[in-house]
Structure 1
């Protein structure tokens, strides 16, 4: 998934620990083979190849993942959109970009972005991208989903506690060997030696979306990888959004959406999810929390 995964579990011996961690790795690889738009053999790649041509029958798992992503698109009025993948050739965050894309280039690319043109057929379990050149990708919710699945598998095997960390999208359960909650530090881009806050949790999802790790710079201005689907330009105004709650996939969708929507509209969105809370870092270096932050944190200990 183009990301680093860290898997931590509490076990009675190293043999059992390695065996269980490998099961989580197998699950992450399985999900990547299903949803990666970079792997030609994946079902998502097949959907993208057939954009504007025909519907593609997919596994129920991918169908449901897409359905949940489209729900996010609807409630955010398109601030969250998995079809933003069509802009993968416009913005590149691998040091290969030499200049900003022109307005003409952006407008042309935006024509291929629009969740309204993703057609789901529940009976056939098929997905159809109506416009040639459209693409979907799960860079926003896929890692959170994989973290949730890793946690679920471990709990089914009665592994009492651990953390699946998908590059900042975490699913935690249980407690440390000393019976204390897991302590999760929220990165502070302005001071890498000091966390914004340290959260004590024992059954929680924590995800962070930010502009400080994956970006390009032109004329001393940073442009992040989180793109506003309506403008084709990177989101601005916020440095990072951390969401805590029950489920990493949902938390990931919320943190990405809030980055695009901004502080005020983002908090309005969060009101629809009373079991989730957020901590926001603005580009001015100030931190803001949703009103329910401390209350939700207590329920996750």
Structure 2
């Protein structure tokens, strides 16, 4: 659900100090990861970039619902049949995802991947699906049907045909884990950027914070806000690249898991704070909940801040 190079960009300044800054782009988890590392010499930086790539690959091999050999794919295959034992890491990530669902009153839901694909966001849709089709599309969606057994470390999906997937928080989780791995190895600074969902730590080589710009999707040349980030994270959800316009109303590709209808009212939601995973969950939730309820949600978490852009181009910032 998240893919916004056009919204978040990096302003990286290297003033020739003793430290080395290198960046590498690689395709992982179905998107472009850009890994930036600052350390004492080129060989060390390259080694650490490879370690981040290996860590993200490891996570992808655990939680991808597209790869048939992963634990999540096995959970999905046995939906309605039996629980599947998983690694504690997968169990804990699923447990946090359910907590995000409860926080948002179901606006966030990792079982949304079981949604019937009745909406098209390629410009070919000229009328709304029938109410019956929309209602039926969410019959196998519902986080309440994800049954966790902590003792056996197992996950059971109680509805046959139900599925879970981590497209909404997986990239943020991987960015956080890449950062944590580098910090555990005393790497001075860097950014793990999963197509705009990113985690940072440390400083640029000149000692200044990382500068992360949030752009206005209605005015590509205009920067709404530049974040000065040290140990922090940011994630964005938006409808400006994939949406349907029917009857002069914009319908985002982000679907409300409870109703089956696309979200409306907000074009872009950027959340920044300590964790990219949690920022992911909040941005997705707020897109679905809309401005009023979404702001109530984010204000419950004072370590997180927001930049919201409505479908009419109005900008709301936390500070």
In structure 2, the partner of 1:28 is 56
1:80 to 2:108 alignment: yes
In structure 1, the partner of 2:13 is none
- Specify which structure has the higher proportion of strand: 2
1:170 to 2:198 alignment: yes
- Aligned alpha-carbon RMSD (Å): 1.8
Size of the aligned set, in residue pairs, is 290
Provide the C-alpha distance between the structure 2 equivalents of 1:3 and 1:215, rounded to a whole number of angstroms: 19
Q: 1:46 aligns to what SS in structure 2?
A: helix
Provide the C-alpha distance between the structure 1 equivalents of 2:124 and 2:182, rounded to a whole number of angstroms: 41
In structure 2, the partner of 1:251 is 279
Normalised by the size of structure 2, how large is the TM-score?
0.86
Normalised by the size of structure 1, how large is the TM-score?
0.91
Gapped regions of structure 2 (runs ≥ 5): 1-28
Distance change in 2, residues 1:88/1:180 (3 Å): farther
Provide the C-alpha distance between the structure 1 equivalents of 2:258 and 2:278, rounded to a whole number of angstroms: 22
Show the 5 A alignment for 1:110-121.
110-121=138-149
Q: 1:138 aligns to what SS in structure 2?
A: coil
Cα deviation code 1:142-186 (max 9, x no counterpart): 111000000011111111111111111110111111111111011
Candidates 304, 311, 316, aligned match of 1:276: 304
In structure 2, the partner of 1:196 is 224
Show the 5 A alignment for 1:1-301.
1-87=29-115, 89-91=117-119, 95=122, 101-216=129-244, 222-290=250-318, 293=319
Q: 2:263 aligns to what SS in structure 1?
A: coil
Cα deviation code 1:208-254 (max 9, x no counterpart): 11112344556775433311111212211001111111111111111
Q: Extract structure 1 runs of 4+ deviating beyond 6 A.
A: none
Gapped regions of structure 1 (runs ≥ 5): 294-301
Cα deviation code 1:37-68 (max 9, x no counterpart): 11111111111111111111111001000000
Provide the C-alpha distance between the structure 1 equivalents of 2:31 and 2:262, rounded to a whole number of angstroms: 20
